Amino acid sequence: MAKVHPNLLPLPSSSSPDAAGESASEEAMTLTVWRKSLLFNCKGFTVFDAKGDLAYRVDSYDAEPAGGEVVLMDPAGRPAFTVRRKRLSLSGEQWLIFAGEGESRRPLHAVKRGGGKTMARVVAPSCEAAAAASYEVEGSYARRRCVVYDGQRRAVAEVQPKEAVGSDVFRLVVQPGVDVSLAMAVVVALDQMFGRRSLLRSWSS
């Protein structure tokens, strides 16, 4: 099997992912996403940058209560985004993305199932946020082949399989000008919606 984690030591806090810096990059950023927590008895994600350094992590214990949430953290353990499930009375469910630890009552985005060739939509969750960017996700997350398009049909992020490793390890390619942390938060939401194994045991029952 190909080496998944070339450098396991976390980056110093001063070198942790900076959304503003990453958004200003002139080149696409490629992350290696490993659907595994490095902590004992945890489920989650471990994400490495192109240099093999830890970029993001998600650690979820089996004991999480029903209706819980998944927190995307930087290498130092600081919350970047919180992805929280919301049940809808008529249309199933959606996943809300909050900044940081999710203390704000207003989410930044909502991820909903789509229709036809659109697998999911990332939209503003309220009228007040109508000016926020909306995205469509097409393809198959289960096969690790899906593309995120913005409102002008530009591919802004893509999930790609990683050769000879299996579905638990894949690539996330994020185009310049796109918030890399947000792109990873959308991947976390897609995994909860379309992954064969939910991070939280109560959500997969």
- Cross-strand partners of 109: 97
Task: Give residue 166's pLDDT.
Answer: 80
Total number of residues shown for the chain: 205
End-to-end CA distance of the chain: 31
Q: What is the pLDDT of residues 4-18, one digit of tens each?
A: 555 554 433 333 444
The burial of 178, by beta-carbon neighbours within 10 Å (0-12 exposed, 13-18 middle, 19 or more buried), is given as buried
Q: What is the pLDDT of residues 32-89, one digit of tens each?
A: 999 999 887 788 999 999 999 999 999 986 554 445 789 999 999 999 999 999 887 7
CATH number of 185's domain:
2.40.160.200
79 part of a folded domain: yes
Q: What percent of the chain has pLDDT over 90?
A: 58
Query: Domain containing 59: what range?
Result: 13-203
Number of H helices, E strands in the chain: 2, 12
pLDDT at 18 (0 to 100): 47
Determine the pLDDT at residue 160: 96
Running DSSP on this structure, what letter comes out for residue 95?
E
Q: With respect to residue 5, please indicate whether it lies within any of the assigned structural domains.
A: no
